Structure 1
Amino acid sequence: MNAKPVPVGVSARHIHLTKEHIAALFGENYELKPLKPLSQPGQYAAEETVAIVGPKGRFDKVRILGPARSASQIEISKTDSFQLGVAPPVRESGKIDGTPGMIVQGPAGRITLERGVIIAARHIHFHTDEAAAWGIADKQPLRVKVEGERSVVFENVIARVSDHYALDMHMDTDEANAAGVSTGDKAYILDD
């Protein structure tokens, strides 16, 4: 197969918070405590978790990813959306206009997000140099194959290119489970 290998990162439900929302949920001037680094430079899973509450259900112990962001955002799978009773669109991270909101409960308080719940669009992070070497442009849709017992070709995988990124494909738990993929497995960008 003439394809380019990419490591896979499976993304479980999680939340990104603003400094203001961290303070509302954990207390004034609270700083998140890094638990473990993530594949993208400077990003980490925090020790802290919160509960997210929808019209039909809730999930406790939802991991916060740091550092703080300019807008709060909850990323869930389609399966999660049924239990919570919300209907979020599939979106790129950060594109939260027109998305549903949700209640978030922390140890020191509770907030109601008016928007920000999405199902993250599958994507591959590329460092600018890697993208250039492979002839891949930012926002380019890619075809990506995962091999194995449940081999799948994913269409419309969004290329995200930046000097701040490291090579990694992100998909949610529904997609990973359907394809029999785990974090650390390889996916292959197919040449059209």
Structure 2
Amino acid sequence: MDEKLIKEIARRVKETLKNPNIIPIEASGRHIHLSKEHVEVLFGKGYELKRKKELSQPGQYQCEERVTLVGPKGVIENVAVLGPERVRTQVEISKTDARQLGIDPPVRDSGDLDGSETIYIATRKAVIEAKESVIVAKRHIHMNSEDALKLKVKDKDIVNVRVKSDRPVIFEDVVIRVSDKYKLSMHIDFDEANASSFENGMVGEIIS
């Protein structure tokens, strides 16, 4: 690790310690959460997803399996599958991905799938039509109840976050999600990451 990067990380750590409103930011790429039913159709009866690596949120992990998304105008291959399995299949993509596929998914909170977009999901074994499964994830902040108390917010509050980067921006309409299963982190997609010149270690500040 070069000296310049070490100094920049040290600066951000000091800033975080001084300012209680500082939130670490992570960029989330396109991915899919599969239902048990769809896992078995796509990979075989009784198939269990293989855990590859843990993610920042406790209990969440990336799987070894990959799928292909097929839309009216295009295909996106090698899409990451995240575990554990969910009750309903959920596909999270960016607006740029959506244009490539030829679909128009709504910006929604995770789990809010009624009336969302439909996509075909393919593996070497099968192809399924996943109805009402595709969203562009609304930017959000995960935190536990202790974090919420410190930051003076509550579950489902909406805040604005000023991103501290070489290309500073203010993200509005950021939803707070509180659970004692969560670790403090703001999640944005790759379109938002590119707009704010994202790099690892980037932080934001809740300003309202």
TM-score by length of 1: 0.96
1:127-142 matches, cutoff 5 A: 127-142=144-159
Query: Compared with structure 1, are the counterparts of its residues 5 and 148 closer, same or farther at alpha carbon in structure 2 (3 Å cutoff)?
Result: same
Name the CA distance, whole Å, in 2 between partners of 1:94 and 1:62: 19
Matches within 5 A, 1:43-192: 43-190=60-207, 192=208
The answer to whether the 8 A contact 1:15-1:75 is kept is yes
Quote the offset at 1:8 in angstroms. 1.0
Partners of 2:104 and 2:98 in 1: CA distance: 6
Q: Which runs of 5+ in 2 are unaligned?
A: 1-14
User: For the Cα contact (< 8 Å) 2:20–2:151, is it kept in 1?
Assistant: no
Give the % identical residues: 48
User: Given residue 24 of structure 1, which amino acid in structure 2 is its aligned partner?
Assistant: V
Q: Is the 8 A contact 1:8 1:182 kept in 2?
A: no
Q: How many residues align?
A: 191
SS of 2:182 mapped into structure 1: coil
Whole-angstrom distance in 2 between the partners of 1:119 and 1:105:
20
Q: 1:4 aligns with which of 9, 21, 31?
A: 21
Of structures 1 and 2, the one with the larger relative CO (CA 8 A, separation 6+) is 1
1:141-184 CA deviation, whole Å, 9 max, x = no partner? 11111122210011110000011111010000000000001343
Bigger shift: residues 1-10 or 155-164? 1-10
Query: Would you say the 8 A contact 1:91–1:120 is kept in 2?
Result: yes
- SS of equivalent to 2:67: strand
SS of residue matched to 1:114: strand
One-letter code aligned to 2:195: A
Q: Which runs of 5+ in 1 are unaligned?
A: none
**Distance in 1 separating the partners of 2:138 and 2:199:** 17
Amino acid at match of 2:163: V
Indicate the larger mover: 72-81 or 2-11.
2-11
Q: Distance in 2 between matches of 1:9 and 1:73?
A: 20
Task: Name the Cα RMSD after superposition.
Answer: 1.3
Measured against aligned partners, the alpha-carbon deviations of 1:30-89 in whole angstroms (never above 9, x if no partner) come to: 111111111111000111100000000010100001000011011110011111000001
Higher Cα Rg, which structure: 2
* Structure 2 length-normalised TM: 0.88
Separation (CA, whole Å) in 1 of partners of 2:140 and 2:120 = 27
The one-letter amino acid of 2:33's match is H
Q: After TM superposition, what 4+ stretches of structure 1 lie above 6 angstroms from structure 2?
A: none
Helix, strand or coil at the partner of 2:192: helix
